[in-house]
Structure 1
Amino acid sequence: MDIVFTSLILLLTVALSGVLMGLLPIALPKPLVQIAIGAGLALPGFGLHVSLDPELFFVLFIPPLLFADGWRMPRREFRRLGVPIAALALGLVMVTVVLVGYFVHWMIPAVPLAAGFALGAVLSPTDAVAVSAISGGAPFPPRLLHILQGEALMNDASGLVALRFAIAAALTGSFSLADATLSFVLIAAGGLATGVGLAWSFSQVRRYLTRWRADDTSSHVALLMLIPFAAYLLGESLGVSGILSAVAAGMTLNSVNTLRGELATRMQTNSLWSILEFVFNGIVFVLLGLQMPKILGHASDSMREIGDGGWWHLGLFIAAITGVLLVTRYLWIWVLLRLMLLRARLKNRDTPRLSTRIIAITTLAGVRGAITLAAVLSLPLAVEDGTAFPARGVLVFIAAGVILTSLTLGSLCLPPLLRSVKLPDDDPRAREERHARTQAAREAIKALEAEQKRHTQDAEDPDSTLHAEVSARVMAGYKPRLDPDNDAEDSRRIRRGFDIEKQLRLTALRAEREELYRLRQNADINDETLRRILADLDLTEASLLGPTHRH
């Protein structure tokens, strides 16, 4: 009963957090509000205590959120921006682990080097969800947003794999770079292969079930909801990266168009994912806040682990490590952009001016979130000889402090920086969407003309004249959409005209949808554009079909 009661409180807290934000005199990012609410619930007045089990946290919350991010990640942009994404998600993670490890060991000699590397691995993953929440509604440049999304997708896995090796080194006292590199490649490649294989198998099974008319929408949506958990658990059971497996599963299912042509399943899935993401993201930040009073309460014990010192020492450690993270990220991005500009010059391409503001935005967008807290709480309590894990309390406190500091800095600095960025007057995404809509409308008109011609040639069709009239009216909606007067007087003729119009509109909508998938397949548009237009088409088709046909 306690579990049910606690779960209901968490759900209520998440639901009310948005209402509370509207009542505040100043605008605050939702993650900070939810963390503050969670911390308030853990105070003695309320006394809500939830022990964050890292293993359960990773299984329950991380797979669906990363799966959804992988599903939404535009495939074209991920492929085109693969170099900067890999440089941030892999190269920057490794540099961060090494620099933070040595810096922590130098600053706090009581922390062994392996434990310092563990803290660096914990602090290396970024949180794209938190970034979008603290931006204050200011739009990110599209290219930068896709890079940040791709980085957050991949660096969770690279950071956690690095954490695994750092913990092993701390427990055993030995470390082999060659063995670690080989294991890293095998774990990452195995995770990706597991996710791809599972998603592809699921899509094939669904295809056969649909062919056999076993196409119950609710059942298929429920099965789809289980895929991220299955991918994560299968990857972990095989000894590879479960996180990368969940990410790969989401991207693969998006690529194979497993919901293509299935209106009800697609609409229900999109609606359910939106709700689940809102609830899960909110619970993650509330849980993070619930841990804060306990972590702060053990601050004195944490200081005794490393010698004498007061609270200000811990604050100094947090500020110094946050500074190292920001400087490292800034310099890495600066060098990366320099190399990309040099490459463009060598290929005689246009090279835009290096923007310090964009580098600063990208740096501050590297906020830490729930995965960092769950990762640091997963540090073992003891090493192999039974002694306590070195300075574990200090590492937990520092990680929690860095999370709050990065969120606060981001929420204060990102919105004004983003508002000062001059975006092009004609947003490339809007231009691409207009092009896609135009192409889809052309294909719809072609399909309508072919349908009209077929009925006109059929001399025995009693509705051929009516069909021609309705076809012209439907096509008028595409060039541009008009609503011609209907002077028909016979009620039967009017009803028949509506039926023909519905069928023609459905024919046109399906032609639009096929053209959109072709454009996406040829990389003329990306997945984001496809989803926006499909949402409009799905709603239109649903209104034409009526509730009795949506199954």
Structure 2
Amino acid sequence: MELLILILSIMAAVLVSSFLSRFIPRISTPLVQIALGLVIALLPMFPPLRLDPELFMVLFIAPLLYYEAHTINKAELAKTLKLSLSLAIGLAAFTMLMVGVLLHAVWPMYPLAAALALGAALGPTDAVAVSSIGQDADLSSGQRSILSGESLFNDATGVIGFQFAILAAVTGAFSPTSAISSFVIAFVGGIAFGAVMGFTSNWIFETARRLGWESMTTRILMELFLPFLIYLVAENWLDVSGVLAVVTTGLLARFDHTGLGPNTSKTNIVSTSVWKVLSFSLNGAVFVILGMLLPGALVATWSDKKVSNLTLLATIALVACTVIIVRFVWVTGVLFFATNPETGKHVPMNARRLRSAAVMTLGGPKGTITLSLALTTPYLLASGDPFPMRNELIFVAAGVIIVTLLLANFGLPLLAPAKNEGPETSKVEKSIEVLRRTVRELSAHTDECNRLAVQHVITLYNQRIARLKTQIGLYNPREPQALQLQTLQWEQTYMENKLEEIQEEGKQQEEPTDSSSESSEAGAATDEELAYSQDSREKAAEQILEHITNSLAHLDEGSEVKWHIHIAMRRAQGLIRHLIHRLRHVTPKVSENEVFLASRDLQAELNHHVVEQLYAELGKGRFKTEDLLTTIINHQLIESSAEGKTEFGEASEMRDSVEEVKREGYATELSVIQDMVEAGEISRSWARDLRRNVYVMQVDNDSVL
């Protein structure tokens, strides 16, 4: 029960830290978690914390390394692989050597093997810890990729170096030949076993999916079980590096990137969410445990008369300065000898590159892996004696972690202040282009049966485009206004031609014929009915044209006088024609009902003509696709209303039709993304993010159904 309460308290602290970080964004989440761990440790209800080192390695390191390797951007990693490996292997080993030798030389009370173990533990960096710090700092994509790759690979270097140093400290014996052979076997064997497990796991998961055996529950449970299984088999049965095996498997695993469809999408989304929660929980738990261990280590150090408090603080300062200086010198040297990847020429050092070296130095704080390795320091030697300076080593490691986290938290924003530019403009523009092409594909498959459903879905896509344009400040109110002006001009031209056509028909009806004056009453009635119909249509056309010209006058204020003159001329022409007609005949009475009916018919014809003009504009580039389709939808709705076709059958039929078009739209969107990837218009990493968004909407659509 005490263990259960402890676990729940740690999880509660992790949960509270996620809320507190919102109110203190300038303080990184790991620092908040360490503080909460200190608070828990000071409560009298909790006994001193003591964890089994092997259990700690399996429980925390294995899943964290697998998830970090599986989610890293492989394309960016390949571009910066040389620099990442230089930092991960060369810098980690050099840090181990410098810290160990210097610490043992200054304070011989630290055995050389134990000091080297501390140096190995301080080699790995924690890119997860700096992710929240990076919100207040402007790190380039290359810098972030280098830090992530370094954190991934130097974990393995640090773990292997730490294990050999601890083995030498525990047994008191060290053979260079045996160490090198063991290192090669552990290194190569771990990679080989991880590669085999990576390909095997891909085959198992894909085969299960193809045979229909995969379900959400089995897939996620198998994936969660995978890193623990690989680590335990590699370490306990094969005697190879479990860390490298887990990392290699994570890099090669691709079963969650194959297969399409709502079920697979839903499983991928849930799996990603589960891993994010697990990763945050494990990382948070490690830092909470760090805070809980600090009081115990501090009390043990204060009570130990062999080491004074001042000496301990000096040790932390020495080791932290050594780690920081060694890292800065190494990064500066790498940048000094670096060449331009495009030209192959040497790039001279300048103030900007020195600043980049400082950013890379502070951007690699120590964190999860360092603390995990320090906590795995055994309590006893092979002889049964207590491990020398164990509490002091853990405390020094914790102190360096806090120092590097503080420097990253407050130093990075000074060296690389955040620009607060919001989302990357180029990526958002590519997203908008994907949506535009999808909308064009959907509009090309419109027919009378699905027209209203397609209009509804296109409206949703246009809303997404508008939101994206607003994010990067691309929304220009003049663009839809220009299209509206062009549409009104089309309407004006059409109605002018229509009015002239109606007037010509009226003139032909008024011309004298060769028929005798003794026409029958039925014939006169027919002529009068035709006159009324012609007058109603003419008056309706004049009203529509007047409305259009008034709208144009409001949009184009510079042409307001011209439109008023145009309207006056039209009215004068109508008055003259009306007087001539009255001289020849009795002034006919124009029925308002007939005018309304004629207006409705003319409006339907007008909208049909404008829709054809709008469709002809698609693909020409004069107007935005979303603006054109929005205008088309509005005119089609007016046309349907004029024709009395506003209903779309039963509500259930309408809903089913909309959901069907949505599914078609999502499939089209995925196809457009793939086409843009193959054409080199977007990167595969960005395409993966775009697909993930589509998967989310697919799952949401299926949940509605």
Q: For the superposition of Structure 1 and Structure 2, which TM-score range results when normalised by the shorter chain?
A: 0.7 to 0.9
**1:8 and 2:21 correspond:** no
- Structure 1 stretch displaced more, 1-10 or 74-83: 1-10
SS of structure 2 residue aligned to 1:214: coil
Is 1:431 matched with 2:426?
Answer: yes
> Is contact 2:13-2:36 (8 Å) kept?
yes
C-alpha distance in structure 1 between counterparts of 2:391 and 2:187, whole Å: 30
Shift of 1:336: 0.8
Provide the C-alpha distance between the structure 2 equivalents of 1:350 and 1:76, rounded to a whole number of angstroms: 27
Specify whether residues 260 and 253 from structure 1 end up closer, same or farther in structure 2 by C-alpha distance, changes over 3 A only.
farther
Deviation readout 1:407-464 (Å, 9 max, x if unpaired):
22222212232316x69x797x542453365357537755874x66xxxxxxxxxxx5
Distance 1:222 1:343, change over 3 A: closer
Pick aligned residue for 2:449 from 466, 470, 490: 466
Structure 2 residue 480 is matched with structure 1 residue 480: no
Pick from 285, 299, 302 the counterpart of residue 287 of structure 2: 285
Aligned to 2:687: 530
Counterpart of 2:220?
Answer: 221
1:200 aligns with 2:169: no
Q: Which amino acid aligns with 2:82?
A: V
Q: CA deviation at 1:136?
A: 5.3
Q: Gapped runs of 5+ residues in structure 1?
A: 453-463
Shift of residue 84, structure 1, vs aligned partner? 0.8
Provide, for residues 51-94 of structure 1, a one-character-per-residue CA deviation record: whole Å limited to 9, x for no partner.
13221122112222222222221110111111011011111111
- Verify the 8 A CA contact 1:509 1:537 in the aligned structure 2: yes
The alignment yields a C-alpha RMSD, in angstroms, of 3.2
Q: Does 1:508 align with 2:665?
A: yes
Partners of 2:336 and 2:348 within 8 A in 1: no
Higher relative contact order (CA 8 A, sep 6+): 1
Q: Give the equivalent residue in structure 2 for 1:323.
A: 321
1:446–1:175 Cα change, 3 Å: farther
Distance 1:209 1:316, change over 3 A: same
By how many angstroms is 1:473 displaced? 7.0
| Aligned position for 1:455 | none
Letter in 2 for 1:413: G
In 2 relative to 1, CA 384–284 (structure 1 residues): closer, same or farther, beyond 3 Å? closer
Query: Cα gap change, 1:322/1:521 in structure 2, threshold over 3 Å: closer, same or farther?
Result: farther
User: Which structure has the greater CA radius of gyration?
Assistant: 2
The Cα shift of 1:38 comes to 0.9
CA gap 1:383/1:64 in 2 versus in 1, 3 angstroms = closer
SS of the residue 1:384 aligns to = coil
- Return closer, same or farther for 1:333/1:183 CA change in 2, 3 Å cut-off: same
Provide the residue aligned with 1:147 in structure 2: 146
User: 1:99-114 alignment to 2 at 5 Å?
Assistant: 99-114=98-113
Q: Secondary structure at the match of 2:48?
A: coil
CA distance in 1, matches of 2:367, 2:687: 30
Cα 1:347–1:374, aligned 2, differ >3 Å: closer, same or farther?
Answer: same
How many percent of aligned residue pairs carry the same amino acid? Answer: 29
Letter in 2 for 1:138: A
CA contact (8 A) 2:336 2:347 kept: no
The answer on whether the counterparts of 2:339 and 2:345 sit within 8 Å (CA) in structure 1 is no
Say whether residues 1:296 and 2:453 are aligned partners.
Answer: no
Deviation track 1:121-176 (CA, whole Å, cap 9, x = no partner) reads 11111111211233454342221111111111111111010111222333444444
CA distance in 2, matches of 1:291, 1:530: 44
Is contact 1:75–1:526 with CA below 8 Å preserved after alignment? no
- Alignment deviations for residues 20-76 of structure 1 (CA, whole Å, 9 cap, x no partner): 44566x943221121111112112544353313221122112222222222221110
What is the rounded CA distance, in whole Å, between the counterparts of 1:352 and 1:77 in structure 2? Answer: 25
Name the structure 2 match of 1:456: none
Of 693, 696, 704, the match for 1:539: 696
Deviation of 1:516 (Å): 3.5
Whole-angstrom distance in 2 between the partners of 1:277 and 1:355: 34
Match of 2:387 among 383, 389, 411: 389
Q: Name the CA distance, whole Å, in 1 between partners of 2:29 and 2:114.
A: 32
The match for 1:269 is 271
Structure 2 partner of 1:457: none
Q: 1:250 to 1:343 in 2, by over 3 A?
A: closer
SS of the residue 2:448 aligns to: helix
SS class of match (1:466) = coil
C-alpha distance in structure 2 between counterparts of 1:279 and 1:251, whole Å: 22
**Structure 2: tracts of 5 or more residues without a match:** 463-624
Structure 2 CA distance, aligned partners of 1:10 and 1:418? 34
Q: Secondary structure at the match of 2:253?
A: helix
CA contact (8 A) 2:26 2:136 kept: no
CA distance in 1, matches of 2:626, 2:309: 68
| AA aligned opposite 2:15 | A
Q: SS state of the match for residue 393, structure 1? A: helix
Distance 1:106 1:292 in 2: 26
Deviations 1:520-548 (A, max 9, x none): 68886556423432232123222333355
Aligned in 2, Cα 1:351/1:134: closer, same or farther, shift over 3 Å? closer
Aligned to 2:155: 156
Q: Distance in 1 between matches of 2:241 and 2:450?
A: 58
Contact 2:99–2:116 (Cα < 8 Å) also in 1: yes
Deviation at 1:341, TM superposition (A): 3.3
**1:181 offset after TM fit, Å?**
3.7
Q: Which residue of 2 aligns with 1:459?
A: none
**Deviation string, structure 1 residues 242-297 (Cα, Å, up to 9, x no partner):** 22222222222247724654111012112222222222222111111111111001
Asked if 1 retains the 8 angstrom alpha-carbon contact of 2:117 and 2:165, the reply is yes
Distance, in Å, in 2 between the alignment partners of 1:175 and 1:387 is: 19
- Once the two structures are superposed, what CA deviation does each residue of 1:479-514 show, in whole Å capped at 9, x if it has no partner? 328552443434427754554443343233224324
Cα distance in 1 between the residues matched to 2:681 and 2:648:
46
Given the alignment, which residue of 377, 381, 394 partners 1:379?
Answer: 377
Report if aligned partners of 1:367, 1:410 keep a CA contact under 8 Å in 2: yes
